[in-house]
Structure 1
Amino acid sequence: MRVIGGEFRSRRLKSPAGDSVRPTPDRLREALFNILAPHIAGCVFLDAYAGCGSVGIEALSRGAGRVIFLEKSRPALRALQDNISTLEISKRCEVHAGNAAPVITKFAADIVFLDPPYPREQEYGLCLDALGEEPSSMVIVQHTSKFTHHLKETYGTLNRVRILSQGDNSLSFFEPR
């Protein structure tokens, strides 16, 4: 896996062994950041269920001011810390170990990227319900394409405004009303 564009373009990222982490495919990540291009410069980006940090690191590479990573898995946290250290970006990010759902609203972010492990479908609703209570952020949710119809169009005052699908992966974009 590598960083697609920006400051760290083509730099390789470590990922934990096995299938405990499902990194966002390069092509989908590139499409995501093409959409986010007008919003990314200087923003605070929250990467929930960050895995090895590929999405948050891509945000930093493309001009985000700061990234907040939320991750529970110890192997993923080790890979994330290695990637942060290798790229020398520790002053531009913070890492919080633990489950994202209970704490996701404790962090002020301009853009929230939410990618829970697919088998933990309840995490989508928990996070989106919490974020919809006091929305101040654009929220992007990565999910399987077949899960699209399980997500509601509205969570509190967050409305789904766009769906981008590539193969089995989809991104749902939510914005405050």
Structure 2
Amino acid sequence: MRVISGRFKGVALTTPKAGTRPTTDRTKEAIFSHLDSWGVLDDARVLDLFAGTGALGVEALSRGARELVAVESSASAAALIAKTLTALKHHRSWESDMSARVFKARAEQYAARAAGQPFDVIVIDPPYAFATDDCNQLLTDLVANGIAGTDTVIMLERSARSDDPTPPAGWEITEHRDYGETAVFYIEAERTNSDEETDA
């Protein structure tokens, strides 16, 4: 598994022997082409929940993000992400104002306890068995604790056979795309009429 595009294109990602379900290159390319087209990755602060191999967060860094926080509950997977990030920090394309770190924690615990400046982009790729109600609670906690702000773009991957998530009050699914067995949802704060007039 390698970084698809950007400043770290071609860099190999260390992957666990088992226990993770990495996003396919086809789906990853579709997701990041979409985010690129919105211009949300440049200098972005990115949160990668259920980070697994760290592939989504690292791809975001490669494509212009400046800060990455990866959250992974498996000790072995978190250690491999840390190893990948250390290698990136020695890469010739790493810049001094970039930062990346990994937290060994459950995504639900992080969302319920973390606080601070909202992230620009949040990518969430839970196991397919992660219940829809748990997914909805996670989204609610991200918004309630200010981890997701009004300008945050949330990308959520689920099984195409799962029920659609229910965004928190004031948020909506702005796009939904299926790639084989994977459903991808883009969730954003609802736009008000004043927002639309400002952008006009």
Same fold (TM over 0.5): yes
Structure 2: give runs of 5+ residues left out of the alignment: 191-200
Q: What is aligned with 1:85?
A: 86
Counterpart of 1:39, as a letter, is V
Matched, 1:26 2:25: yes
Equivalence map 1:137-152=2 (5 Å): 137-147=152-162, 149-152=163-166
Matched, 1:52 2:53: yes
| Aligned equivalents of 1:162, 1:76: Cα separation in 2 | 30
| Aligned equivalents of 2:84, 2:60: Cα separation in 1 | 14
- CA shift, 1:165, in A, is 0.9
| Aligned equivalents of 2:109, 2:136: Cα separation in 1 | 12
- Contact kept, 8 Å, 2:85 with 2:101, in 1: the verdict is no
SS in structure 2 at match of 1:118: coil
Matched, 1:126 2:141: no
Q: For the pair shown, which has the larger CA radius of gyration, 1 or 2?
A: 2
Counterpart of 1:175, as a letter, is E
In the comparison of the two structures, how many residue pairs are matched? Answer: 174
Q: What is aligned with 2:197?
A: none
Change (3 A) 1:131 1:156: farther
- CA shift, 1:132, in A, is 3.7
TM score, norm. by length of structure 1:
0.91
Matched, 1:174 2:187: yes
| Aligned equivalents of 1:106, 1:143: Cα separation in 2 | 25
**In the alignment, which of 90, 98, 122 is matched to residue 105 of structure 2?**
98
SS in structure 2 at match of 1:162: strand
- Contact kept, 8 Å, 1:40 with 1:59, in 2: the verdict is yes
Q: What is aligned with 1:13?
A: 13
- Contact kept, 8 Å, 1:132 with 1:158, in 2: the verdict is no
- Alpha-carbon RMSD across the aligned residues, in angstroms, is 1.7
| Aligned equivalents of 2:73, 2:182: Cα separation in 1 | 22
| Aligned equivalents of 1:100, 1:123: Cα separation in 2 | 11
Which segment is superposed worse, 158-167 or 91-100? 91-100
TM score, norm. by length of structure 2:
0.81
- CA shift, 1:49, in A, is 0.7
Q: Matched residues, percent identical?
A: 26
Structure 1: give runs of 5+ residues left out of the alignment: none
Q: What is aligned with 2:194?
A: none
Which segment is superposed worse, 155-164 or 99-108? 99-108
Matched, 1:116 2:126: yes
| Aligned equivalents of 2:138, 2:30: Cα separation in 1 | 23
